[in-house]
Chain A
Amino acid sequence: MTNPQSQGQLSANGELVHLLTLEGLPREIIVRILDTAQSFLGVTEREVKKVPLLRGMSVFNVFFENSTRTRTTFEIAAKRLSADVINLNVSTSSTTKGETLLDTVDNLAAMHADMFVVRHSQSGAAHMIARHVGPERHVINAGDGRHAHPTQGLLDAYTIRHYKKDFSGLTVAIVGDILHSRVARSLIHVLNILGTPEVRVIAPQTLLPAGVESLGVRVFPDMRKGLAGADVVVMLRLQNERMRGALLPSAQEFFKYYGLTPEKLALAKPDAIVMHPGPMNRGIEIDSAVADGPHSVILPQVTFGIAVRMAVMSILGGA
């Protein structure tokens, strides 16, 4: 396991100063984030849906890769913490004029940014920015290439804990495009840290990263076998925009073998929950009857995601 300190997200006294990856993060930090998120959930049910923690701080959402949903949930989270939020779609501005990543960051720091939420198509981009800005400003990785999407992993863990209470007896099956999925990677790490006894990945060989077993998962090329007895089924989006070359015969073929239908879901436990990080491709990885059905917790995931991001920002902002 990688030493998290070497990844630069913990201070010398073990405090979380950036959130870059869940890999190697101490269990108590993850549990603290999930517990804090639980306390934030109630805030959204009040007359004033805000707390003053980040009042006077500026959060810059710096997205070098488009994502409306993730950016929006970070924006809502920051606003509920009373921060000022500035959204930047850098892909459409300075980098196209030739400015380097770190020049962009330096300029934003000069505008008194206290926190950066960064999404980038290159793995390691958030790490590089965190190293560059130091521990005084905080960096949250909102997805870097195929590498990590830690707040998604945390909100998935939060959702599982909400419905299943305890990880110690769970079988979690992650289905689909594992190869291109930073969501899968972050989820596998957090499930292992929280002590999930059985994490399965279900995918065709062409959509599995080499040596995936070393992450602590069991591989099932046959979806029916992989779903048997699962407590949690996590469907991944088929990432068409990341596909290079012919990894799949066709979307229809994929749905036939790896799409989640009510009939396949019946192989999992009767009280299994179905998750999806969104946006969903209905009829490609998930049947509408499942997405809208009684096992689906896809929309609660979105709500929990805001509370989890509030928790991460409030812990970092006070560090």
Chain B
Amino acid sequence: MQLPDAEALCAELVKKLRPVVTPATGMVGIHTGGAWLAERLHRELGLAIPLGRLDISFYRDDYRKSGLHKSVKASQIPFDVADRRLLLVDDVLYTGRTIRAAMNELFDYGRPESIALVALIDRGERQLPICPQYCGATLAVAKGKMLRLDRNDAGKLSLRLDDD
């Protein structure tokens, strides 16, 4: 299967986001792939507010089934969330459960004015009423496959398809 070029999709997202960001826009990336993408977008858009990072392990809806994730990173939101317009960034949008967990966590930092969802790839198969406002591309991926973002030592982003 030919995977899209992550770098090109990233440039596409920068183009879409450029007209909507302001000096007050807050950006939050979801660990790990979403945070990598957010780092790039944040830098290329020259956002003034420092980037936030979420590890949603403490908010996952499958905790009772699967337990706590083995390596939990600390979430860091280095700005005031209350009354701010937020861009929530993830690499691959799939069931929507990660986004729900991320929104639940964000609200524990404060009540934002709005949250817009940015995704590099939308692979469909949503299980919750969640859709991206800014999306690089849509791509149908077979169930049981895991589409994820990679970052090499030079910081170059690429997509990878694994067996789940």
Contact = CB atoms under 8 A, between A and B. Distances in A.
Contact of A314 (B68, B105, B109): B68
A48 B67 contact: no
B153 interface: no
Where chain A touches its partner, the secondary structure class is: helix
Contact of A51 (B58, B67, B82): B58
Nearest to B101: A52
Interface residues of A, number: 22
Given A38-B74, A42-B76, A314-B58, A50 B108 contact: yes
A51 B66 CA distance: 17
B109 A47 contact: yes
Contacts of B59: 51-52
B71 interface: yes
A41 B64 contact: no
Given A39-B73, A39-B74, A53-B63, A47 B68 contact: no
Interface in B19-77: 55, 57-59, 63-64, 66-68, 70-76
**Chain A to chain B: the 4 pairs with minimum beta-carbon distance, closest first:** A318-B67, A48-B108, A51-B58, A39-B74
Interface of A: 15, 32, 35-36, 38-43, 46-48, 50-53, 314-315, 317-319
26 contacts: A32-B71, A39-B55, A39-B57, A39-B73, A40-B58, A41-B74, A42-B74, A43-B58, A47-B82, A47-B109, A48-B108, A48-B109, A51-B59, A51-B108, A52-B58, A52-B59, A53-B68, A314-B68, A315-B67, A315-B68, A317-B63, A317-B68, A318-B63, A318-B64, A318-B66, A319-B67
